[in-house]
Amino acid sequence: MNDLKRLLKTDIIKLKSSGLLWIHCCVPLLSLIIFLGYYSYTPWKDLSKISAYLQVLCISFPLLIGIITSIIGEQEHMAGDFQNILVSSRIKFLSFISKYIVVLVLGLLSTILSVIGFYIGFSYMGNNIFSFNIYLSVIFILIGSNLLEYIFHFFLSFRFSKGVSIGVGIVESLISALFITGMGDGRWPFFPCAWSIRFINSLMIKYGNINNYVDPSLNLGIKIAFVGTILAFIMVLVWFTKWEGNKSEE
């Protein structure tokens, strides 16, 4: 436990030179300004406005995760070919857990800013149709659905390169956008990048009084997301324990 605390302090200090804090603050604020500014005069229905904003958040998550993990991976690679994180603790995988916790906390804070900021701004405009609890559920879904994405992109950034992580993130964002349509029906539970947008879409349908439609793949998606995330976390810890810092191009 002491080793983990020390590693967390070290990783927090490293944030100052990585620009990650600025990314997690500026991107949500910029999104809020753009969307709330546009929504102040657009004739869209309130439900359409809320759904569109949340869908954009879901679609952008894989790409942003790819960028964030690639920045951390590049920072460690440049600092000494990953040797710092491989020898900084007696229990090797604690270094990975530390970085994972840090990016999750940053992601959570950024998501809170994005979602609650929108709730406050949209309520101020007098157009909010959902309660505060629904927005809290959205935050939980966004972070919970992307736990595996963080794991996956950390692996890509460490084992391969930042280009691979970002490239895969772009593809995943495109898949997420496509799978909100009928193209994703029955397939989306097997694509982690589509989990958040499908879960939130189901939430909007349930509480937006749209219809009584229930996604037949919803329960399967929840089970796969839960089990898949746990297995992915165990697998990446096992891999990290055996990893010696080498990249594929080496």
C-beta of residue 69 within 8 angstroms of C-beta of residue 150: yes
In a domain, 88, yes or no: yes
pLDDT band (50, 70, 90) for residue 80: low
In a domain, 83, yes or no: yes
230-247 b/e (C-beta count within 10 Å ≥ 16 → b)? eebbeebbeebeebebee
In a domain, 249, yes or no: no
Which is more confident, 73 or 246? Answer: 73
144-198 tens-digit pLDDT: 999 999 999 999 998 888 889 999 999 999 999 999 988 888 899 999 999 999 9
Q: CA–CA separation, 91 vs 219, rounded Å?
A: 37
Q: What pLDDT does 211 receive?
A: 67
Q: Which residues contact 95 (CB under 8 A, 6 or more apart)?
A: 7, 85, 86, 88, 89, 240
Structural domain that includes position 103: 1-242
97-126 tens-digit pLDDT: 999 999 999 999 999 999 999 999 998 887
Q: What pLDDT does 214 receive?
A: 78
In a domain, 90, yes or no: yes
Q: CA–CA separation, 62 vs 165, rounded Å?
A: 10
Q: Which residues contact 155 (CB under 8 A, 6 or more apart)?
A: 236, 239
In a domain, 130, yes or no: yes
Q: What pLDDT does 246 receive?
A: 66
Region 52-66: what's the mean pLDDT? Answer: 94
C-beta of residue 187 within 8 angstroms of C-beta of residue 179: yes
In a domain, 250, yes or no: no
In a domain, 247, yes or no: no
Domain count across the chain: 1
Percent of the chain with pLDDT over 90: 54
In a domain, 133, yes or no: yes
134-156 tens-digit pLDDT: 999 999 999 999 999 999 999 99
Q: What pLDDT does 239 receive?
A: 92
- How many residues are given for the chain? 250
